[in-house]
Amino acid sequence: MSAADMPDTKTDDVLVVENLVVETAGREPATILAGVSLRVAPGETVCLVGESGSGKSVTSLATMGLLPKGALVARSGRILVEGEDVLTAKLARLRQLRATRMSMIFQEPMTALNPVLTIESQLEEVLSAHSQMGAKERRDRIRGILDLVKLPDVERMCRSYPHQLSGGQRQRVMIAMALVLEPKLLIADEPTTALDVTTQKEILRLIAEIQERLGTSVLFITHDMGVVADIATRVYVMRHGEIVEEGPIQKILEAPQRDYTRDLLASVPALHPREGRAATSREIVLSTSELGMVYRQPSLFRKREGTVAAKDVNLTLTRGRTLGVVGESGSGKSTVARCVMRLIDPTEGSIRLRGQEIVGLSRGALRPMRKRIQMIFQDPNRSLNPRLTVGDSITEGPINYGTPPTAARERAKELLQLVGLPTDAIDRHPHQFSGGQRQRIAIARALAMEPDVLVADEAVSALDVSVQAQVLDLLDEIQTRLGVALLFITHDLRVAAQICDEVVVMQHGRVVEYGPTAEVLGHPRETYTRQLIEAAPGRHWDFPNFRPLAPGGPGSIEAMA
Amino acid sequence: MLAYIARRILASVPVMIVVALFVFLLLRLTPGDPAAIIAGDMATPAQLDQIRQSLGLNEPLVTQFVTWSGQLLSGDFGRSLISRTPVLTLIGQRLEPTLSLAIVTMIITLVLSIPMGVLAAWRHGSLTDSAVMAVSVLGFSIPVFVTGYIFIQIFAIDLRIFPVQGFKSISEGFWPFFSRIFLPALTLATIYIALIARMTRAAMLDVLGEDYVRTARAKGLSERVVLFRHALRNAAVPILTVVGTGFALMISGVVVTESVFNIPGLGRLTVDAILARDYPVIQALILLTSGIYVVINLLIDISYAFMDPRIRY
């Protein structure tokens, strides 16, 4: 390309976004991006941080020319990829640029790959669309890149379909697909958010390695300050479609200038466990012994080995305390939660709710017990019935158990106040509330039954950090006031460290370590627990205090040894 | 994969047995003496007796069913009460026109409806989309015999491209066959085009919102590849289901079309047999149509596995 084709790029920046304005299409356009500017230098890793709705994904999609047609429109500004303006490029030219100069990987490796095509054919079509390579050359190139992303047994991988791979392997395939033509710019949109911490760590390391090897620039979009602290060279903080603050990583973490950035950092829960609370009661409200769940697939012809989802799980929860169950996906933590709720029937062991055995109880006999234990689910957007008013959702349970409707409604208003919502919320519908507010409604709904035990299954995982902090505070406050016991299922060690009195660490359906949070997370005895803690992103940084954790200080890995 | 196919085939055996039982009981459980029904009002006692003998009506029901099923399995479907020709021969003569009609109809349907659906979904909300939807509403709402007579008026009488009606076997040459089968097939196809275009559009709209379609675009693939290779294959399962059931329904839906275009097919045979109370023929026709349903369902199930690797468990 001649110099004339590259209008006024004075720098050698790989990506320059200037004053990008994106609006919704339609008669009354709403502004989504209000003049975003950023740049990415060669070989740099730039993090774009923000909470949901801040416009960080829209920025990345606009760069790829992938704004949803008919919904979002780039009104003004420029997006220069190696000096070429993406916004004014013809569609055919844009297609040429994709995968050759700029590539993108997405959040959900589960859904981002086509389920009906083999890995090899999904890689191959990138090569046939953009290069003149012969069949042999394509074959070699595909095997080479799969090797580079460290996938095992490359030949088998080539023949596999996405559903046959693990989440981490799929994300590696995505990375291979994005980088097979060695583009200058890689846009990674929350690429590790859906992965377990240990897998996340491997993927982040892989991206860093490849970046060094190929000299790729990375624009990394994330909401996770821990990840930012680990990988970024420079950071842009976004909010409401604007860049709030930018700067080198050190400056952002140590001396953030804007209040929003400070708040964002301050809401990151510390990995260092909180002080243990004194027990207020000795009454055991929930206990399991030798709890086990084996899924057997019925077969006519032979007896099959079942899948062990949980085995020998013993735990005890006293009134007013919080017990955390932590582990990666497939560790059995959700199985335990579902067994305890009797949503599924455990295949072995016993569960006692306030001293009464509930395994083997019939549906009818279980009914009075259901009141005693209630659940809060992960995604408040889906756990509340969209067609019921908030009041109907909250009062439905008590009314089923014989509370007169007017009394239940009065109680619902009290509960709404308790969870920090106005009482007039009672006649509105879930869609009129934000995610955090909906989770508050879900908590009020669970509390309406006046349970002894609340089971929270990843109850804050879908929320932004600032909202997460508020909901955790709320749970804490409710517990102090009502004395309800919490069984808190989470994959996030930071959250567990801040809310749990005791922690159970699970792996492959078994309990690996169990004890007071300060012990388990502060001085882990088991290798697996240590691995989990080491994999937690940003664990060297004390975010709320804007300083690195001193080596050997509380929460640092050296203190655990 | 083979195990999957074997399982699907095994699963269809009980269905056929239940159908056979139903067909068997159809005659046996009709109120009154089946022999009298078969023989008609003018029968002599001797004739009745002879019919009872030949049907084995004096035996217990179970024995009758076993004998009857055994005869079916050895290809003996009995003789028509009217023409005295073996039922199988009768059906054999009528099978070709109907099958030809069904297959040509299906080809026309697929060639038109799937691109229409894909296009409508791709240009969602545009004029093209509205046009496809409008055609589809029309296709649904105009009765087959009206469409048929309109096509005859335009293509056969006004434009004189095709003969008005009739049927010629494909063994008599392609054009004589095609010129006669095209109008009835197009007539029959209107409903299926409407149905499948709609279904394709809906399935494609779902799939086009998926993450992997965005991935495909991010890879810089052309829209043609994105639409047909990535999206359509994923949308195939619901479309195939409708194509399959549509085809099965068509076999029973050809009656009107065959009458309008005077085609000597199974539809006409069915009407004649029912009007004449020709029980053996009716029985055989029910068995045949159910058999076609079962086989088509089997083919759909197997094709799912080819379309979607996750089904090959």
Residue of A63, A114, A145, A182 to mutate for B, most B C-beta atoms under 10 A:
A114
Q: How far is CA A347 from CA A309, A342, A344, B58, in A?
A: 10, 11, 9, 56
Q: 3-class DSSP state for residue A231? A: helix
Domain of residue A74 covers 11-266
Whether B181 and B288 map to the same domain: the answer is yes
Residue of B7, B126, B215 to mutate for A, most A C-beta atoms under 10 A:
B215
A94 inside domain: yes
The tens digit of pLDDT for each residue in A23-74 reads 998 888 899 999 999 999 999 999 999 988 899 999 999 999 999 888 899 9
User: Cβ(A260)–Cβ(A239) under 8 Å?
Assistant: yes
| pLDDT score at A8 | 47
Per-residue pLDDT, averaged over A169-173, amounts to 93
- B181: CATH: 1.10.3720.10
d(C-alpha A185, C-alpha A351), whole Å: 54
Burial of B13 (0-12, 13-18, 19+ CB in 10 A): exposed
d(C-alpha A164, C-alpha A161), whole Å: 6
User: Between B43 and B242, whose confidence is greater?
Assistant: B242
Whether B64 and B159 map to the same domain: the answer is no
CB-nearest to B215 from A95, A112, A163 is: A112
| pLDDT score at A558 | 47
A384 inside domain: no
d(C-alpha A314, C-alpha A326), whole Å: 14
| pLDDT score at A389 | 94
Question: Residue B68 has which token pair?
Answer: 């009857």
Evaluate if residue A415 carries a pLDDT over 90. Answer: yes
| pLDDT score at A298 | 63
| pLDDT score at B25 | 84
Kindly identify which residue of chain B lies nearest to residue A93, measuring between CA atoms: B220
User: How many domains does one find in chain B?
Assistant: 2
Whether B25 and B150 map to the same domain: the answer is no
Per-residue pLDDT, averaged over A341-357, amounts to 92
Which residues of chain B have a CB within 8 Å of the CB of A130?
Answer: 220
The tens digit of pLDDT for each residue in B132-187 reads 999 999 988 988 888 888 999 999 999 888 888 888 888 888 898 999 999 989 98
d(C-alpha A217, C-alpha A62), whole Å: 17
B69 inside domain: yes
- Amino acid type, A427: D
User: Cβ(B52)–Cβ(B35) under 8 Å?
Assistant: yes
Evaluate if residue B228 carries a pLDDT over 70. Answer: yes
d(C-alpha A141, C-alpha A32), whole Å: 40
User: How many domains does one find in chain A?
Assistant: 1
Whether B68 and B102 map to the same domain: the answer is no
| pLDDT score at A561 | 41
| pLDDT score at A135 | 93
Evaluate if residue A1 carries a pLDDT over 70. Answer: no
A3 inside domain: no
d(C-alpha A463, C-alpha A465), whole Å: 6
Which residues of chain A have a CB within 8 Å of the CB of B225?
Answer: 125, 129
At which of B21, B41, B73 does a domain end? B73
A114 inside domain: yes
Listing DSSP states for A324-377 in one string gives EEE--TTSSHHHHHHHHTTSS--SEEEEEETTEE-TT--HHHHHHHHTTEEEE-
d(C-alpha A222, C-alpha A204), whole Å: 12
B81 inside domain: no
The answer to whether the Cβ–Cβ distance between A99 and B220 falls below 8 Å is yes
| pLDDT score at A555 | 46
Kindly identify which residue of chain A lies nearest to residue B221, measuring between CA atoms: A129
Which residues of chain B have a CB within 8 Å of the CB of A67?
Answer: none
Evaluate if residue A406 carries a pLDDT over 70. Answer: yes
| pLDDT score at B51 | 76
The answer to whether the Cβ–Cβ distance between A66 and B214 falls below 8 Å is yes
Instruction: Name residue, tokens 């040429």.
Output: A96
* A129: contact with B, CB 8 A cutoff: yes
CB-nearest to A113 from B212, B220, B229 is: B212
**What is the pLDDT confidence band of residue A315, given thresholds at 50, 70 and 90?**
very high
Which residues of chain A have a CB within 8 Å of the CB of B124?
Answer: 70
What kind and span of H or E run contains A27?
Answer: none
- A207: CATH: 3.40.50.300
**What is the pLDDT confidence band of residue A219, given thresholds at 50, 70 and 90?**
very high
B80 inside domain: no
The answer to whether the Cβ–Cβ distance between A126 and B219 falls below 8 Å is yes
Whether B236 and B149 map to the same domain: the answer is yes
Supply the mean pLDDT for chain B: 86
Whether B236 and B134 map to the same domain: the answer is yes
The answer to whether the Cβ–Cβ distance between A117 and B229 falls below 8 Å is yes
Q: Assign residue A240 a region (left: φ > 0; alpha: ψ between -120 and 50; beta: otherwise).
A: left
| pLDDT score at B42 | 72
Burial of B102 (0-12, 13-18, 19+ CB in 10 A): buried
B86 inside domain: no
A538 inside domain: no
Domain of residue B52 covers 2-73
A529 inside domain: no
CB-nearest to B212 from A64, A95, A114 is: A114
| pLDDT score at A7 | 46
Bridge partners of A376, per DSSP, are: A456
Per-residue pLDDT, averaged over A296-307, amounts to 66
A254 inside domain: yes
Evaluate if residue A274 carries a pLDDT over 90. Answer: no
| pLDDT score at B278 | 80
| pLDDT score at B268 | 84
Evaluate if residue B261 carries a pLDDT over 90. Answer: no
B-facing residues of A in 321-380 (CB < 8 A) are: none
Per-residue pLDDT, averaged over A220-224, amounts to 93
Whether B14 and B44 map to the same domain: the answer is yes
For chain B, report the end-to-end CA distance as a whole number of angstroms.
8
The answer to whether the Cβ–Cβ distance between B211 and A129 falls below 8 Å is no
Whether B123 and B166 map to the same domain: the answer is yes
A70 inside domain: yes
At which of B10, B42, B73 does a domain end? B73
Whether B66 and B119 map to the same domain: the answer is no
- From B212's Cα to the closest Cα of chain A, the distance in A is 4
B183 inside domain: yes
Q: How far is CA B145 from CA A142, A455, B109, B189, in A?
A: 57, 63, 18, 12
d(C-alpha B269, C-alpha B255), whole Å: 9
The answer to whether the Cβ–Cβ distance between B217 and A66 falls below 8 Å is yes
B203 inside domain: yes
The answer to whether the Cβ–Cβ distance between A125 and B225 falls below 8 Å is yes
B-facing residues of A in 103-122 (CB < 8 A) are: 103-104, 106, 108, 111-117
The answer to whether the Cβ–Cβ distance between B211 and A103 falls below 8 Å is no
* A165: contact with B, CB 8 A cutoff: no
* A142: contact with B, CB 8 A cutoff: no
